[in-house]
A = this chain, B = another copy of it.
């Protein structure tokens, strides 16, 4: 309960003191809503290799009313900061991209916010600055992890399939011999009585997954534990593993097994740290080089 207080105290301090200041500087010459929208268009554009973001995307990201957003976009266009066009491929969608003037504006926003942050850091000695940066990084990592939810989904759901595709693509790059998607579990193997599939969501985006299937009576197998590149080093894999083990225990399995590729040394280290011990080969997975097992309580 004291930790709740600490979190709230920090929240109050931070949003009132720093956050408010930042917003104030951000939207110096224009409404905050427009400034934020401009910023978000810039972000979306630089993330996706493409040029610009769709209104639909911005709407969900900023959580705005469709009409409100439409009008703001029009206002930005009237000011010459963005250009809109129909989305190629889906004519219902509207694409918004920054003009050079819009990009200049975002750069200026960044300069101001950066100056604010730099001014704040100036009051600290170099060592203290490092401490601050470290503490903020730790806090952000843990807050992100805390905000991620791990939920059971049907093995055939689009999110599950999307995760497995990303997983396969990652492995294909990682394994010297490549990776063939046919080695993935089939949806029916991880649905209903046969097994389970978990997806980790960060702000309703899937950022990780893990599958459990029945191998033999009272023995389960964990497969395809994967974490999105941008959600790594948060401790998410451990949470997925814990969810899978909990599910296995609930299904009456005494033991869970899993295998890993020789190249995935960090994964092996994690399994060991989580109480798995290496066992002899139990399957004929061509990609596997190590086999592990853990006895459940």
Residues of B within 8 A of A135 (CB): 135-136, 138-139, 142
Asked if residues A3 and B142 are in contact (CB atoms below 8 Å), the reply is no
CB contact under 8 A between A121 and B22, given known A14-B140, A131-B138, A135-B138: no
| Contact residue among B123, B136, B147 (Cβ-Cβ distance under 8 Å from A10) | B136
Residues of B within 8 A of A120 (CB): 7, 143, 146-147
Residues of B within 8 A of A6 (CB): 133, 136-137
- Decide yes or no whether A162 CB sits under 8 A from chain B: no
Number of interface residues of A (CB under 8 A): 49
Please report the C-alpha to C-alpha distance between residue A216 and residue B114 in the assembled complex, in whole angstroms. 45
- Decide yes or no whether A85 CB sits under 8 A from chain B: no
Residues of B within 8 A of A131 (CB): 138, 142
Least Cβ–Cβ distance between A258 and chain B, in angstroms: 21
Given contacts A14-B15, A123-B149, 20 further A-B contacts (CB under 8 A): A3-B130, A3-B132, A4-B118, A4-B121, A6-B137, A7-B120, A7-B121, A7-B136, A13-B144, A14-B19, A15-B18, A123-B148, A124-B146, A131-B138, A131-B142, A132-B138, A132-B139, A132-B142, A135-B135, A136-B139
Interface residues of A (CB under 8 A from B): 3-11, 13-15, 17-19, 22-23, 113-114, 117-118, 120-124, 128-133, 135-140, 142-149, 203, 235, 239
